[in-house]
Amino acid sequence: MKKIALVLKGYPRLSETFIAQEIRALELRGFDITLVSLRHPTDKEVHPIHRQIEADVLYLPEYLHQEPTRVCKALFKVITKFSLCKVIKQFIKDVKRDTSRGRWRRLGQSLVLAAEMPEGIEQMYAHFLHTPASVTRYAALINNLPWSCSAHAKDIWTSEEWDLREKLQELQWLATCTGANHEYLQSISDDPSKVQLVYHGLDFERFDTVERESRAAFDASGEDKTVQIISVGRAVPKKGYDDLLKAFAKLDKSLHWQFTHIGGGEILADLQEQARELGIDKNIRWLGAQPQLEVLKAYRESDLFVLASKIVADGDRDGMPNVLMEAQSQAVCCLATDISGIPELITSEENGVLVPSNDPQALSEALSELLVNSEKREQFGECGQSQLHQRFDVKIGIDQLQVLFEANSEDKQ
């Protein structure tokens, strides 16, 4: 049973179900996992899968000034290690290029992690190539442990290339969840074979298929047949909810629809105000963050799922949004934008509809057609569900990760 320290930015998080399902799947494969979280949880609820995870959680100091004694004790414990010199040299090199306070916090957190590392850890593994990977990298250097990483979206596209290159040189392997990520990371790596394409997929035991009541008669042209639209995602700029609201405002006033948004986020109040200014607030329900069973229920009561993802100024973007797979698992027709890994999941006019990002007019036109064409919605929903089961079963990705972890063990022997 391999012992792994799995480093996360925060745990548990409602918005990162794909990580939780991976943790549980690895536990079921026999891996002994200790979770390491850089932050304490902020969500009030947890998903059922979080209750199934057996791993202990080590919470590092979120801010060094809050636990100075703990940081000092960690430094005294590791100060005699020769490897600490390597870390200090690397840190000086890094801080010359990144003078932020966050860089110092990562060093302090890595000292605590190295000092408090559970006995017998054989491998360190980070989710996200920015902050969690930096802490993992320093701690792995101190304790002379191999480390690996999974990279997703913001952590790749908002990071400096020098930072990515150096991490890719040191880690044993990296898994990433979209073809675009895979191509870019391979292009900047001295050893492209380290970078593996691993779709995180969906656990169909949790998102089981149920027979949906036919809603073929529901089109938005009839008052008694209101079409239910849903989107699940954090209210942050890269999700494109501002564009979606503009698209709703462009719809013909004779159409009958209701939009439900599930998720918290930093710009939620701004979006609510935008909806009021556009005169569409009576058509919208803002439910905030919800536990997974409520989200699943909402999918099953919906006719159309919409996600207007886009690339924002700092390069941040979605990778492979898990919520699209969740909606497809319930045979809900999906309308999304054609960025990042989304075209790897949805082929437009075959198992869903794709439109250009940053284009409320194109989004509104696609919405108009799908609102009145219930047969197309049902066709795309059923096709999406079928193809999802064939290509994006979580077990496929876990098989790949197991091979990577076990190959690393064999290399050490």
Q: What pLDDT, on the 0 to 100 scale, is given for residue 413? A: 43
Domain identity same for 127 and 141: yes
pLDDT the model gives residue 89: 92
Q: Is residue 213 assigned to a domain? A: no
Q: Does 216 map to a domain?
A: no
For the packed helices 131-143 and 161-170, what is the interaxial angle rounded to 10 degrees?
Answer: 40
In this structure, are 253 and 268 located in the same domain? yes
Domain check: are 42 and 180 in the same one?
A: yes
- Length of the chain as a residue count: 413
Answer whether residue 357 is part of any domain.
yes
Shared domain check, 192 and 142? yes
User: Residue 222: inside a domain, yes or no?
Assistant: no
Instruction: Say whether both 331 and 236 belong to one domain.
Output: yes
Alpha-carbon span 131 to 174, nearest angstrom: 15
Looking at the fold, whether 49 and 179 belong to one and the same domain comes out as: yes
User: What was the pLDDT predicted at 217?
Assistant: 58
What is the pLDDT at residue 407?
A: 86
Q: What is the largest CA-CA distance in the chain?
A: 75
Angle CA(5)–CA(89)–CA(124) in degrees, nearest 5?
Answer: 10
Give the phi and the psi of residue 151 in degrees, each rounded to 5: -115, 145
Query: Is 78 inside a domain boundary?
Result: yes
Asked if residue 403 and residue 387 are part of one domain, the reply reads no
Are 151 and 127 in contact by the 8 Å Cβ rule? The answer is no
Question: What is the domain-level CATH number for residue 30?
Answer: 3.40.50.2000
Tell whether 80 is covered by a domain.
yes
Q: Which residues lie closer than 8 Å to 255 by C-beta, 6 or more apart?
A: 220, 221, 227, 368, 371, 372
Residues 267 and 149 in one domain: no
Q: Answer whether residue 82 is part of any domain.
A: yes
Same domain (yes/no): 324, 284: yes
179 and 40 both lie in a single domain: yes
What pLDDT is attached to residue 80? 87
261 in the same domain as 149? no
Cis peptide before 291 (omega within 30 of 0): no
Spatial separation of the C-alpha atoms in residues 353 and 366, rounded to whole Å: 8
| Alpha helices per DSSP H over 98-213 | 101-115, 131-143, 154-157, 161-170, 179-187
Q: What is the pTM of this model?
A: 0.86
The pLDDT of residue 219: 72
Report yes or no on 160 lying in a domain. yes
Domain total for the chain? 2
pLDDT tens-digit profile, the chain (413 residues) = 799 999 999 999 988 889 999 999 999 999 999 999 999 998 888 888 999 999 999 999 999 999 999 999 999 999 988 788 889 999 999 999 999 999 999 999 999 999 999 999 999 999 999 999 999 999 999 999 999 999 999 999 999 999 999 999 999 999 999 999 999 999 999 999 999 999 989 999 888 877 766 666 567 776 667 999 999 999 999 999 999 999 999 999 999 999 999 999 999 999 999 999 999 999 999 999 998 889 999 999 999 999 999 999 999 999 999 999 999 999 999 999 999 999 999 999 999 999 999 999 999 999 999 999 999 999 999 999 999 999 999 999 999 999 999 986 555 54
320 lies in which domain range? 227-391
Q: What pLDDT is stored for residue 214 in this prediction?
A: 63
Whether residue 378 sits in one domain with residue 401: no
